[in-house]
């Protein structure tokens, strides 16, 4: 049960750093406190203060001053575990090094590897920093993990996320004088609220403009196009976990390879990331590439089409590190990864070059047994059913998460937090 899962934190002293936009970390701290933990929180900007206004500490210094401040807080409160969202954020990059040196565990939250109904929680790092093994043989020799039935989050989570984002940026801008040295991964000005408003408008604009395209791709273009789902332009998956300088460079590389090596009767479909609607638009770049290489009717740029349907009718998929890759594998689609995705394993993804992928994709064979075992292991070890932005209704957790798992997993999780030995590859409770 949820209560039993959270009980592993009984008597622990927890430090929470920066969380996702919204009240998730505040709600989660109440769950920890009910389980018998002592919880401390550090706020870094006005948005943090808005969603965690009470019983929190303020860090108002520069990044150069941050390591010493963190060390002093770890000493003062005798912290056992540090929780944070996104290990590549400026204020979080040094945390793992300091905590590990002190024998303190770091719980890293991230967006779910298996979306949309999960969030990620891993020890010491996520995505390219994940502790998950990269050896296919590991998953083939593990017992098949038991996982509970998934409870769907629902599409309304997007609108909660948009609301929390607007409020977060407004509060951060208003309280900027209190945190003069803070550095965010996006500009923290009042203007940052407008991309979310613009994104909501574009969502419906492109839905109308692109009407009928899905039917075309599912009809006469079925199995004749390659899908390239983009990631957020400033995502750490690009900036940290890939060799690309930007999403634009990625687009140019993929288009150039496609026009040189892909079969003449195939199409390249580039899909915009839904959370990037209000920030960037690659229409001019795509039009430029179409004119430069003569790719009329060969290169298509989409914004708001149904992703599962696009995957279903694609011949193959190309990603950097996107979690869309797992969805593509789930549908048995040939997949080429150009970053350091944790699922880029021999037997799952195409291991040849991008230039070779276009012609060899139809003959690529997915090891379905490996994927089945890998996916269940990832869910059992790193995924929590729920959302950062909208609570699941059918749960006692204040954060709206499903914490319970199999008896075996619960016992392993309890041992993890009681034993402060070196890193174990196991899921937090």
| CA gap 106, 380 in Å, rounded | 19
Paired sense of beta strands 118-123 and 105-111, if any? antiparallel
- Give the percent of the chain with pLDDT over 70: 91
- The predicted-structure confidence for 399-419, as pLDDT tens digits, reads as follows 999 986 433 344 434 444 444
- The predicted-structure confidence for 320-336, as pLDDT tens digits, reads as follows 999 999 999 999 999 99
- The predicted-structure confidence for 94-113, as pLDDT tens digits, reads as follows 999 999 999 999 999 999 99
More confident call, 355 vs 196: 355
* CATH H superfamily, domain 214-372: Glycogen Phosphorylase B; (3.40.50.2000)
**What pTM was computed for the model?**
0.88
| pLDDT for 424 | 32
**Domain 2-158+383-415 sits in CATH 3.40.50.20:** yes
Residue range(s) of every CATH 3.40.50.20 domain in the chain: 2-158+383-415
- Phi and psi for 103 in degrees, rounded to 5? 75, 25
| pLDDT for 243 | 85
Two structure tokens written together for 25: 């970390």
8 A C-beta contact, residue 315 and residue 226? yes
| pLDDT for 259 | 98
| pLDDT for 5 | 64
8 A C-beta contact, residue 39 and residue 54? no
Confidence of residue 190 (pLDDT cuts 50, 70, 90): low
Residue range(s) of every CATH 3.40.50.2000 domain in the chain: 214-372
Mean pLDDT of the chain: 89
């Amino acid at each position: 049960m949820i209560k039993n899962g959270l009980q592993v934190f009984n008597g622990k002293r927890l430090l929470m750093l920066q969380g996702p936009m919204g009240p998730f970390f505040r709600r989660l701290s109440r769950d920890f406190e009910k389980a018998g933990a002592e919880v401390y929180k550090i706020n870094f900007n006005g948005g943090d203060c808005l969603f965690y206004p009470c019983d929190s500490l303020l860090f108002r210094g520069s990044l150069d001053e941050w390591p010493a401040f963190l060390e002093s807080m770890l000493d003062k409160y005798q912290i056992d575990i540090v929780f944070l969202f996104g290990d590549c954020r400026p204020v979080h990059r040094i945390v793992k090094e300091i905590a590990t040196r002190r024998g303190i565990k770091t719980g890293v939250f991230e967006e779910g590897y298996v979306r949309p109904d999960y969030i990620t929680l891993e020890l010491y790092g996520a995505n390219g920093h994940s502790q998950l093994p990269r050896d296919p043989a590991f998953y083939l020799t593990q017992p098949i993990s038991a996982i509970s039935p998934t409870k769907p989050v629902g599409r309304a989570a997007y609108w909660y996320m948009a609301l929390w984002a607007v409020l977060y940026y407004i509060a951060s801008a208003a309280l900027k004088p209190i945190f003069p040295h803070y550095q965010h991964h996006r500009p923290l000005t009042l203007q940052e609220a407008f991309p979310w408003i613009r994104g909501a408008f574009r969502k419906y604009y492109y839905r109308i403009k692109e009407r009928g395209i899905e039917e075309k791709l599912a009809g006469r273009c079925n199995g004749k196009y390659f899908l390239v789902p983009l990631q957020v332009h400033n995502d750490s998956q690009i900036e940290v976990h890939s060799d690309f300088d930007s999403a634009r460079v990625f687009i140019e590389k993929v288009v150039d390879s496609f026009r040189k090596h892909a079969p003449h009767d195939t199409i390249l479909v580039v899909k915009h990331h839904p959370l990037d609607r209000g920030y960037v638009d690659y229409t001019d770049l795509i039009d430029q590439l179409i004119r430069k290489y003569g790719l009329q009717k060969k290169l298509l740029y989409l914004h708001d089409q149904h992703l599962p349907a696009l995957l279903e009718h694609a011949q193959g998929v190309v990603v950097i590190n996107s979690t869309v890759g797992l969805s593509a594998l789930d549908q048995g689609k040939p997949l080429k990864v150009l970053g350091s995705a944790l699922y880029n394993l021999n037997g799952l993804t195409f291991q040849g070059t991008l230039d070779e992928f276009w012609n060899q994709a139809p003959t690529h064979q997915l090891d379905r047994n490996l994927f089945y075992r890998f996916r269940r292991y990832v869910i059992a070890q790193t995924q929590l059913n729920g959302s950062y932005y909208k609570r699941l209704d059918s749960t006692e957790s204040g954060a709206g998460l499903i914490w319970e798992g199999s008896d075996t997993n619960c016992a392993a999780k309890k041992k993890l937090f009681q034993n402060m030995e070196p890193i174990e590859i196991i899921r937090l409770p």
